[in-house]
Chain A
Amino acid sequence: MSVALRAEGLSKRFGGLKAVDGVKLQLREGEILGLIGPNGAGKSTLFSMLAGSLPPTSGRFFLGERELTGLPAFRIARAGVVRTHQIVRPFAMLTLIENVTVAAVSCGRDPDLGRKALEFAGLFDRRREFPQRLTLAGRKRLEMARALATAPKVLLLDEVVAGVNPAEAQEMTRLIRRARDELGISIVMTEHVMPAVMSLANHLLVLDAGKLIAEGSPEQIVRDPSVIAAYLGKAHAT
């Protein structure tokens, strides 16, 4: 299978702190790549670099054959790599349908894609309301619908399951699976809710203190001593 998104030696340095340190990453087409790690491991920083909101200190990344390193966020979005935000950021002044339509139009897609994305996320009936009226779970689905409205090739999901109740988490998990299976979108997701990421991801990367410490299938990762050490401390890693 061909590669959708590829990064080599991606690093981000904030002064003396290496937030992300030489990360190599490969997302195959039609797959979900899970990115896990304790708080402060650099997951969100890595996402911000891939989405173009933070320029990497060094390293390169590619969508298929096309290099995206150094492009501004809106160009990367138009090229087909779109992110969602860990802390939801809907356009408060726009109705739901406008939120998604503006995304579709700005990426040069058919405005109708906005409607379809809203239907997909189960928010179409509330299209004329403002995001403020939605629950957190609703806003997370809007965040996802807005990203889907741009017809992305690669979706970067930053903790879209975390922080909602179990029923909503299941609904969200279903949505992510459908995005991969029905829409054929390749997905990178970070997540703290392990059941979700374990059931969804085809492949997992584990990040700790900016470095990649393990990678493999979900089954391999849960048994990896270095992963257990990163999460629970070295005493548990035997």
Chain B
Amino acid sequence: MKPPRWFRWRPAAIVLGLAVALALLPPVARISVYTQNQLTLTFVTIAAALAWNWLGGYLGQVSFGHAALFGLGGFVAARLQISAHLPMILAWTAGGLVAGLYALAWGHPTLRLRGPYFSIATIGVGEATRLVCTYWDWFTGGSSGMSLPVTAGLKLQLYWYGIAIALVGVATSYWLRRSPLGMALLAIKSDVDAAGDVGISSVRLQDGVLFLSGLAMGICGAFNASYYSFIEPVETLGFEKSISFVFMGVIGGVGTILGPALGAVVFVLVRQYFIASYPQLYLGLFGVLLVLVILFEPLGLTGLSLRVARRFGYRERPDLST
């Protein structure tokens, strides 16, 4: 079978190689449990940041409510594992599907709004979801949360699943950005009405991307609940969580393929170092970072590294060499 025209072997091989190397780390290099867990958390954060970027970056519809999808996926998966004793992976899938459908339910009407208006609507969705889940005791366990079953060897298993999820996230990002579909998304981002005038169905495409984003977010949230063996509404559904996805996207490079992954790594590292000693400070730090990025390098770390690479004589290939 011939791969599609937009497919490139080299980046695919690099990413796959990296994933295999990471997967071999625990058994071969005997990394500490702490490092292993930090990496697991990074993988799932990467996937979530990428999923946010599909909507916020490729379509320019910046969501401040993606924690709603992350949290809902987590709660549904947790409830299904606790009450219905569903196997973990099945529960994750169900959580993802519910989050995707939920995203469609509020997204189908709100995606007709653009720019700041859409963003404001998502803040409302996020907060409403948090409140409903906080008071919906019998399903979510209310403010005291729910504990999930812990099995032997779970953490190592999650490490590998985390790699797989991040890998799927990267592949989907590549597909959405580089396939002909990606052109249509950028056309919508450039000018939604002009896009319609040449036959691009913005409603269907935006809905589709939001569903994918919700599905991935839900699975990440479900994964997160399994990782902590616990889920409660304040942390998973809070505005802070929603904002964190925006941080990662913007700092890494909105609309790029791997930028948000980079942003996720930075976010996890910085948060880890600061949260213990200065629990409030790290948000302020990210605020400053956000302002600097928007002022000086709208493509974030990706833009910065491209700039450095160009200094050393690198010339990037145009996106579509037809």
Stretch of A16-24, A30-38, A97-105, A164-172 that contacts chain B: A97-105
**B183, B201, B319, B321: residue with the most chain A Cβ atoms closer than 10 Å:** B183
Task: Tell me whether A74 and B196 are in contact (CB under 8 A).
Answer: yes
Q: Interface on chain B toward A: helix, strand, loop, or mixed SS?
A: helix
Residues from chain A with Cβ under 8 Å of B187 in the complex: 91, 93-94, 99, 102
Asked whether B197 lies within 8 Å of A95 as measured between CB atoms, the reply is: no
Q: Specify which of A74, A127, A147 is in contact with B200 (CB 8 Å cutoff).
A: A74
Is A63 part of the binding interface, using a Cβ–Cβ cutoff of 8 Å? no
Residue A77 is within 8 A (CB to CB) of chain B in the complex: yes
B180 at the interface (CB under 8 A from A): yes
Q: Are B193 and A150 closer than 8 Å at their CB atoms?
A: no
A102 pairs with B180, CB closer than 8 A: yes
Contacts A93-B189, A94-B187 hold; do A53 and B319 have CB atoms under 8 A apart?
no
Q: Map CB proximity to A onto B164-192 as digits: 1 under 8 Å, 0 otherwise.
A: 00000000000000001001101101110
Separation of A225 and B196 alpha carbons in the complex (Å): 40
List the one stretch of A78-86, A195-203, A208-216 in contact with chain B. A78-86
User: Known contacts being A95-B320, A97-B322, is A89 close to B194, with CB within 8 Å?
Assistant: yes
Q: Which of A89, A94, A128, A149 contacts B183 (CB 8 A)?
A: A94
Tell me the residues in window 305-322 of chain B with beta carbons closer than 8 Å to chain A beta carbons.
Answer: 318-322
Point out the residues of chain B lying under 8 angstroms from A218, CB to CB: none
Closest to A105 in B: B180
B255 to A, closest residue via Cβ: A93
A contact residues around B193 at 8 Å (CB)? 53, 73, 89
Given contacts A85-B194, A105-B180, are A74 and B201 in contact (CB under 8 A)? yes
Task: With both chains docked as a complex, state the minimum distance between the C-beta of A99 and any C-beta of chain B, in angstroms.
Answer: 8
Closest A residue, CB atoms, query B60: A93
The residue in chain A whose Cβ has the minimal distance to the Cβ of B318 is A128
Bound CA–CA A73/B202 (angstroms): 10
Closest to B188 in A: A91
Least distance between B98 CB and chain A CB atoms (Å): 30
Instruction: Please determine whether A150 and B199 come into contact, CB atoms closer than 8 angstroms.
Output: yes
Closest to B320 in A: A98
Say whether B198 faces chain A, with CB atoms less than 8 Å apart. yes
Q: How many A-B residue pairs have CB under 8 A?
A: 96
Do B183 and A150 touch (CB < 8 A)? no
Q: Tell me the chain B residues, 124-182 only, with Cβ under 8 Å from chain A.
A: 180
Closest to B200 in A: A106
Roughly how many angstroms separate A89 CA and B184 CA in the complex, as a whole number?
Answer: 15
Contact across chains for B320 and A150 when beta carbons are under 8 A apart: no
Which residue from chain A places its CB closest to the CB of B190 in the assembled complex?
A91
Contacts of B190 in A (CB 8 A): 90-94
On chain A, the residues within 8 Å of B197 by CB distance are: 51, 53, 73-74, 77, 82-83, 85
Question: Does B86 count as interface, using CB distance less than 8 angstroms?
Answer: no
Give A70 Cβ to nearest chain B Cβ, in Å. Answer: 15
Nearest chain-B residue to A73 (Cβ)? Answer: B196
Closest residue on chain A to residue B193 by CB atoms: A53
Determine how close the nearest CB of chain B comes to the CB of A130; give it in whole angstroms.
10
Which of A83, A105, A147 counts the most B-chain CB atoms under 10 A from its CB? A105
How many Å from the CB of A104 to the closest CB on chain B? 9
A residues in contact with B186, CB < 8 Å = 91, 93-94, 98
On A, residues with C-beta under 8 Å from B are: 51-53, 72-74, 77-78, 82-83, 85, 89-95, 97-99, 101-103, 105-108, 111, 114-115, 127-128, 146-147, 149-150
A53-B193, A115-B322 given. 15 additional CB < 8 A pairs?
A: A77-B199, A85-B197, A89-B194, A90-B191, A91-B190, A92-B191, A93-B187, A95-B318, A101-B183, A102-B180, A102-B183, A102-B184, A103-B199, A107-B199, A128-B318
The 3 closest A-B pairs by CB, nearest first: A77-B199, A73-B196, A103-B198
